Structure 1
Amino acid sequence: MKSARLSFARVHLAWTATQWQKVVFTNESTICCKWDSNKRSWRGLHIWNDPVYIRQLKASGCTCINVLAVVTYDGLGPLIRSDESITPEQYVDILNRTLIPYFLDGPFPDRGFFLQHDFSPTYTSDEVLECIEANRVHELKWPPKSEDLNPILSIWSSMKQRICRHRLDEPCPDKLWEVVKKHWDLMTKHKNIVAKLYSSIPNRLRDAVAREGGALVHGFT
């Protein structure tokens, strides 16, 4: 793993700011939030244990959803919800229906972009590779275990800190999605955040080389 990270960092140290601006970063993450267990409701004794009035909750007291995020140099892109980890078939559908049309109709009408995604079974599957080739998409080969090199990591960190301070009225994935989408939409207004993260990529690569491919200590700044 460290050798792959080191090789990637050394090769891409020579990339210019313009080249990095053509990279589309993606990342799938699990977002959880606790619900407000102190919220009370009143009902008659004869219906106190009716299933309609009983909230189903995980033992952890948390509600979780999976989210795929997309970022380009122009700013935050689509945010896609999945209640489970995304499968290869689902990702192919996301590429065809959402991401590729978004890129071509928006920041990259000339297809002049590189698509980054994690080195995991879903994103390296034959189905996904065939879809990428069929759509003439250039892929940025990403080393395994390298979320710390992805600028989205900093965006997730900021979002999760805000969401952790938010208490859900009820333990419902749909409610959590509303909160996540609200914070994402608010962050889309601050385009300078993304530009700053892109400009810090060369420093992160230099840090990875200095650590001989080891994990980075600090997040994107």
Structure 2
Amino acid sequence: MFYFDATYVLLIPAILLSFWAQAKISSAFNNYSEVRSINGYTGADAARKLLDANGLYDVPIEVIPGKLTDHYDPANRVLRLSEEVYYGSSVASIGVAAHETGHAFQHKQHYVPLEIRNSIVPAVNLSSNASWILFFIGMIFSIPFLARIGVVLFAAVVVFHLITLPVEFNASSRALKLLESRGILYGDEVKGARKVLSAAALTYVAAALMAISQLIRLIIISRDRD
């Protein structure tokens, strides 16, 4: 069968990076979850201070279940933090909370990569599912045109992952600068938060590499079958 072929080798670097990134973020977050901030602020406290300092008084902060499920919802203009981050007063919790406020600042300032990413989310969600369906149908029934459409649709997924990289890196950069300038974290605390956010950023790099590797795979397979 075509889906058991040598092109899977192309995924190995991305798979290895993904495992390493997950291990790295788990290790960094767990380590700095044990380091309490000098000021004793919780993630929610830090997020509220940063939001208010940038005029985002109307952006509420909500608690959501799960581990590292933290995110900013641009559609509803809501910052959602996991329980550990919301209530935690560790360097890790504050770093993650600040990162999410970075997305709120991007939204307020119409940061172009974020605007592009938000605008293509519906299309990417659709193309992500349709790409594999069309590709497999095209390959199984020898309809090259459908397979090529599948490849093109999956390319949109790759674009989404590539646009996500500057969005995430910029949010972390904003967060770290604000944490230090607002006196929420000091010295080694900032370094600890940077390690947590750098590890988190690596997961996005791994996801982008995986998407690129999959796209190359699909292109090679479709050409071999033509």
Please say whether Structure 1 and Structure 2 have the same fold, judged by a TM-score greater than 0.5.
Answer: no
Of structures 1 and 2, the one with the larger relative CO (CA 8 A, separation 6+) is: 1
User: Under a length normalisation based on structure 1, what TM-score does the superposition of the two structures give?
Assistant: 0.22
Higher helix share: 2
Superposition TM-score, scaled by structure 2 size: 0.22
Report which of the two has the higher share of strand: 1
